[in-house]
């Protein structure tokens, strides 16, 4: 027989100790008809029911409070969202234009597109003054390994500098957020969000 909540008037299942709607104690509530309920051991929850973290009682899926002990039934915890992967980019000095680096393949070739030589780098610096600044067609490579970024000069004509130091060709060097690259005389700042 249903038990009416003295607090909110909701009819609750026979044997419930606390109101499903407001969580009020039903110990002093009078059943809507018949004798007082005898508390029974809570049965195992059926599929789709919420198990109380305090007493283990199975509750309806939409219950906010445990029918047995009155504990608050927290909503199902969502899967934790992994932190966003770093989003590397180059910032052109002094214009501030940003060039995203797609490192999904593990590396990015930086240089200038040349239709005749059939060179098509991942990042074409021609629109940023690359030709006049002395950027080679295949100038440098940025790679990522285990969360660490590296830059290496590809034996470019006018060289690559990292924070003012000239890089030896084909020798990867660690590059960090805020480091300055010079490809010929084109200055870029490496950024990672």
Q: Are residues 93 and 186 in the same domain?
A: yes
Mean pLDDT of 30-41: 50
Answer yes or no: is 63 within a domain: yes
Q: Are residues 19 and 105 in the same domain?
A: no
How far is residue 161's CA from residue 171's CA, in Å, rounded to a whole number?
12
pLDDT at 61: 81
The residue ranking higher by pLDDT, 190 or 83, is: 190
pLDDT digits (tens, 9 = 90+) for 5-24: 877 788 888 777 777 777 77
> At 62, is the pLDDT very low, low, confident or very high (cuts 50, 70, 90)?
confident
Q: Distances from the Cα of 171 to the Cαs of 60, 135, 142, 154, 163, in angstroms?
A: 64, 18, 12, 9, 15
CB-count burial class (<10 Å; 0-12, 13-18, 19+) for 62: exposed
Structural domain count of the chain: 2
How far is residue 19's CA from residue 59's CA, in Å, rounded to a whole number?
12
How far is residue 161's CA from residue 183's CA, in Å, rounded to a whole number?
7
Q: Among all chains, which residue has been given the structure tokens 């004509």?
A: 157
Q: Are residues 33 and 104 in the same domain?
A: no
Q: Are residues 94 and 175 in the same domain?
A: yes
How far is residue 189's CA from residue 48's CA, in Å, rounded to a whole number?
54
Q: Residue 125's closest CA among 190, 188, 180? A: 188
Q: Are residues 128 and 56 in the same domain?
A: no
140: helix, strand or coil: strand
Angle, alpha carbons 123-126-98 (nearest 5°): 55
- Domain of residue 124 covers 88-192
Q: Are residues 43 and 72 in the same domain?
A: yes
pLDDT digits (tens, 9 = 90+) for 157-184: 999 999 999 999 999 999 999 999 999 9
The residue ranking higher by pLDDT, 80 or 177, is: 177
Question: Domain boundary at 55, 77, 99, which?
Answer: 77
127: helix, strand or coil: helix
Over the chain, what is the mean pLDDT? 84
Q: Are residues 19 and 46 in the same domain?
A: yes
Q: Are residues 70 and 120 in the same domain?
A: no
């Amino acid at each position: 027989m249903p038990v009416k909540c003295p607090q909110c008037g909701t009819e609750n299942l026979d044997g419930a100790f606390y109101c499903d709607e407001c969580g009020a104690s039903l110990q002093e509530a009078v059943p809507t008809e018949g004798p007082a309920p005898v508390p029974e051991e809570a049965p195992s929850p059926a599929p789709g029911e919420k198990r109380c973290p305090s007493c283990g009682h199975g509750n309806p899926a939409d219950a906010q409070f445990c029918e047995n002990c009155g504990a608050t039934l927290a909503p199902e915890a969502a899967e934790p969202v992994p932190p966003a992967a770093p989003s590397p980019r180059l910032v052109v000095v002094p214009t501030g234009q940003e060039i995203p680096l797609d490192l999904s393949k593990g590396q990015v070739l930086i240089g200038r597109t040349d239709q005749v030589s059939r060179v098509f780098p991942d990042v074409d610096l021609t629109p940023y003054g690359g030709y006049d600044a002395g950027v080679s067609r295949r100038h440098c490579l940025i790679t990522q390994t285990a969360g660490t970024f590296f830059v290496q000069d590809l034996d470019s004509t006018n060289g690559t500098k990292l924070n003012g130091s000239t890089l030896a060709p084909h020798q990867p060097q660690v590059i960090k957020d805020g480091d300055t690259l010079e490809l010929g005389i084109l200055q870029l700042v490496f950024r990672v969000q």
